Amino acid sequence: MAAESLMQSAQSETSRRHMVDSQLRTNGVTAAWIIKAMGELPREKFLPAGKEAFAYLDRSVPLGNGRMLNPPLATAEMLQVAEISADDNVLLIGAATGYLAALLAGRVKKLVALESEAELAAAARANVAGLDVVEGELSQGTKKNAPYSLIIVDGAIEQLPSAIEEQLANRGRIVAGLAEGPVRRLAIGTKQGGHVALRAVADIEVAALPGFERAREFVF
């Protein structure tokens, strides 16, 4: 068993290096801390049993109940455009199993991770020691440490709820995926005059995050 475990560990390390070289570096991810962190953190530990083989593929991985772990490139791009600072007070919306939170842990002044699914929240707590996980509706954010200098929405949304805008500090940044029909984009915005306008910066695969859908118009 020990030999098998060592072999699996070596294979995972090789897969992580390949992910960094073929997915991140070749697509403009240059932040040294992101390259280092994602090259060291075992992504397979954040996946359900039986899905470890998908950890380093360039695709979203199902976590259950309609939730997904975003592709590695989406995670890296989100962190890069966020321009993380050690003084940041961060709200992470959509903690899932804690992968993105683990990358942020220890790099920011404060970090609150919001999760709506009890099983995912439990997994995030187990996977990231000391992580402050709040359970609640994702579209409502949380006022626990508000106002936040940075909010990261780890998924694609159709609209940004006013409740989340209100929890962002003036001149604070927000990073999210945008869902515009079948198109997915990475977007960033800064709060000015009490409002946030998200600006798309790249087309990228980001899994949809439930709870942020626009109200559908009915035609009679």
pLDDT in tens, 112-158: 999 999 999 999 999 999 999 999 999 999 999 999 999 999 999 99
* Mean per-residue pLDDT, 40-58: 96
Residue 4's pLDDT is 54
Residue 45's pLDDT is 96
Q: What is the pTM of this model?
A: 0.93
Quote the CA–CA distance of 173 and 83 in Å, as a whole number. Answer: 9
Determine phi and psi for 31, rounding to 5 degrees: -60, 120
Chain segment 147-171, per-residue pLDDT in tens: 999 999 999 999 999 999 999 999 9
Cα separations in angstroms, 156 against 11, 12, 135, 187, 205: 31, 28, 20, 9, 9
* Mean per-residue pLDDT, 79-89: 97
